[in-house]
Homo-oligomer: A and B are copies of this chain.
């Protein structure tokens, strides 16, 4: 899927080395990702619950995003024992949980300015 030596991925690697900020953002950007993380933190930790929360997502896309979040160790998949067919729960790791307050501040930042807080420049430079 990824070309190892495209300028695009070379640049991506370069940024990852400049600062972890860039890899952090790469982990949480992606169409549904941060919303999925947030929904799981709210208790929607099953495949079908997430589908209900995100009615427009297709199953393939949801599965793909979950797998990527798992790759980045933001969540883990756990089979629920004694269920047939076997049910699966998605659990945030401590890494994923640490992300929640940051997502909340991003959310508040967005809200503040969407609700009309004045945007200006501080001209004393």
Contact = CB atoms under 8 A, between A and B. Distances in A.
A103 to B, nearest CB: 6
Contacts of A29: 25-26, 28-29
Instruction: Sort chain A's interface into a size bin.
Output: 35 or more
How many copies make up the complex? 2
Given A24-B106, A107-B24, A11 B34 contact: no
Contact of A11 (B28, B56, B121): B56
A95 B107 contact: no
Nearest to A114: B20
Nearest to A18: B35
Contact of A21 (B14, B23, B35, B78): B35
A-B CB proximity, top 9 nearest? A20-B110, A29-B29, A24-B110, A21-B107, A24-B106, A20-B111, A73-B119, A93-B119, A95-B119
14 contacts: A7-B56, A11-B56, A14-B56, A15-B32, A21-B107, A22-B34, A23-B114, A25-B34, A76-B121, A78-B121, A91-B121, A91-B125, A92-B121, A95-B113
